[in-house]
Amino acid sequence: MNYFFWLLFLLIHCAAYAQESQKEAFVKGIYGNPERILQAGYSFDELGVNAVFVRRSSLNQEFYQQAKAQGCQVFVEFPTLNGKGYIEDHPEAWPINEKGEQAAPADWFMGVCPTDPGFQAYRAEQLKETLGDYMVDGVFLDYLHWHAQFETDQPVLPETCFCDRCTQLFEKASALQIPGKDISARSQWILANQESAWRDWRNGILNKWVSDMGEILREYQPDALLGAFYCAWFPEDHGGALYNTLGINVPSLAKRVDVLAPMLFHQMYARPVTWAGEYMEWLDKIMDSSRPLVWPIVQAHNKPGIVSPEEFGKALQEGSKTPASGIMMFSEQSLLENREKMKVMQDFYQRTKP
């Protein structure tokens, strides 16, 4: 009898140790629709991949089981504030600019008004549905910003959202009485007289989205990680647009997630590949001691221009600098279009610490 209990204890201890070791392993991931890698005849274990980051729209049970069988952690990307496909049928959720007009698409991206309760309920239900169908290792919030486009060297940075709901919520939160008979007049008054408070309020709305999604995740799967993909601009870039337009404050975001995933898309931002390492050095300096994990995502994708296999390899090296405890690449399509990039990733992942 004593032997039985000792064996049971040993099995439980080994299982817990294996689970903890997996969590502590350096994450080496692919983002996008990684199922295409398997369909092309590769396996994740031979490529050195131990984590997949799957778009919610691409996740299915067959792939989930295959990835798990090959020892991969499965993280789902969640398109948090992407309004495309929703606002067309729900005009009350359309972001409104300072002129009182519906904001135009920002290049290919179309955002949403983050305070719309219908959209909030819609996304909450989608997250609950995903967590009910899959036991994931984590959820990574994507499109986590107010309506804008930053994945380009010429960012599109509209002023939003000045709908009646947003200005009334700001008015109440700030104990103000905003003058003006129409949206244009009210928005001009806000930007002229309360701009700093307005920017802070917008950041608070974004932070609440992160906290609310985190509460749902903890309720349904308390052991899963909450991650966030976010624009990796320095605070001073583009006239302070990271905070002023996108609504992102990295230190406050870091307090609300388990994993930060800065989007180190050097070519999209028209930066040298060494910039990715410079960003990691900056991030290491600004985070306090109670810091989250950091798993950057780097660019192999050829749009815009061409990212050579050598440049992709350098991006992996730069993005893996301290404080990174993992890295992933964007996206599987680029690997399949250029098998040399597949080999670069495989060599880097296989020689990177376990």
CB 301 within 8 A of CB 334: yes
Per residue in 53-111, pLDDT (tens digit) is 999 999 999 999 999 999 999 999 999 999 999 999 999 999 999 999 999 999 999 99
Q: What is the pTM of this model?
A: 0.93
Please tell me the distance from the alpha carbon of residue 154 to that of residue 246, in angstroms, as a whole number.
15
The confidence score (pLDDT) of residue 14 equals 39
Arithmetic mean of pLDDT, 290-299: 96
135 has pLDDT over 50: yes
Q: Does residue 39 have a pLDDT over 80?
A: yes
Report the number of secondary-structure helices (H) and strands (E) in the chain.
Answer: 14, 9
If you write DSSP's letter for every residue of 254-283 in order, what string do you get? Answer: HTT-SEEEEEE-TTTTT--TTHHHHHHHHH
- For 193-250, write each residue's pLDDT tens digit: 999 999 999 999 999 999 999 999 999 999 999 999 999 999 999 999 999 999 999 9
Which residues, other chains included, contact 296 with Cβ-Cβ below 8 Å and sequence gap of 6+? 232, 261, 262, 263, 264, 276, 280, 319, 320, 324, 327, 328
Domains for the chain: give ranges and CATH numbers: 28-351 (3.20.20.80)
Assign 352 a pLDDT band (cuts: 50, 70, 90). confident
pLDDT tier at 22, thresholds 50, 70, 90: very low
